[in-house]
Homo-oligomer: A and B are copies of this chain.
Amino acid sequence: MQQEVVLAMLAKEPSHGYELRARLRQALGPLGDAMNDGQVYVTLTRLERAGLVESEQAAGLPDRPDRKVYALTADGQQRVAGWLAEVSWPRPDLAEFHLKLIAAAAAGLADPVAIVDAQRRELLRRLRDAQLAAMAEPGGSPVGLLLEGVVLRLQADLRWLEACERTWAGRKDRS
């Protein structure tokens, strides 16, 4: 799960895989459920191979399995600092849907307007879910904030779908 994220969590303090996984889940709230359990370990292994972290065996709780505690190397710290300074932002991934409409219309396989409609119903469902989840979180909490972002996004996407419907409905009339 995103090497930078794991690195940044280690910047706070050295830790082991199991705990990182738990911290991630906690920070993501309901969105963390999609995570795969083994993923963190894969990422840690690769980070170690890349020389960004180092591991050390450490005793766990009494009568508990030992832990493998990872800490940042100098390279790792630099990478984290770079990541924090970065202003990258995932570019909107609307292109796929856009191309779907174009392809459907061009190939005559499906009605673009119907596709938009189906998509809107799906997004409305997700919006409802996100709003419910947001209400379950205490206001002002980080997880609540994240869910608010999801809601704002979905609302923007729904408005876009309306624009899509208007445009494609118009195109059909003219063809």
| Chain A contact residues, CB within 8 Å of chain B | 2, 4-5, 8-9, 11-12, 24, 27-28, 31, 34, 80-81, 83-85, 87, 89-104, 106-107, 109-110, 115, 118-119, 121-123, 126, 140, 142, 145-146, 148-150, 152-157, 159-160, 163-164, 167, 170
Do B92 and A153 touch across chains, with their CB atoms under 8 A apart? Answer: yes
Q: Tell me how far the C-beta of A173 lies from the nearest C-beta in chain B, rounded to whole angstroms.
A: 12
The listed residue (B94, B107, B140) touching A8 by CB distance below 8 A is: B107
CB-CB under 8 A for A5 and B99, given A92-B150, A148-B160, A152-B156? yes
Quick one: closest B residue to A31, CB to CB? B95
Do A89 and B126 touch across chains, with their CB atoms under 8 A apart? Answer: yes
Do B8 and A100 touch across chains, with their CB atoms under 8 A apart? Answer: yes
Residues on the B chain within 8 Å of A119, using CB: 87, 89
| Interface CB pairs A-B, < 8 A, 13 | A8-B104, A9-B106, A12-B103, A12-B107, A28-B95, A28-B99, A80-B103, A89-B119, A89-B122, A89-B126, A90-B96, A98-B146, A152-B156
Do B96 and A109 touch across chains, with their CB atoms under 8 A apart? Answer: no
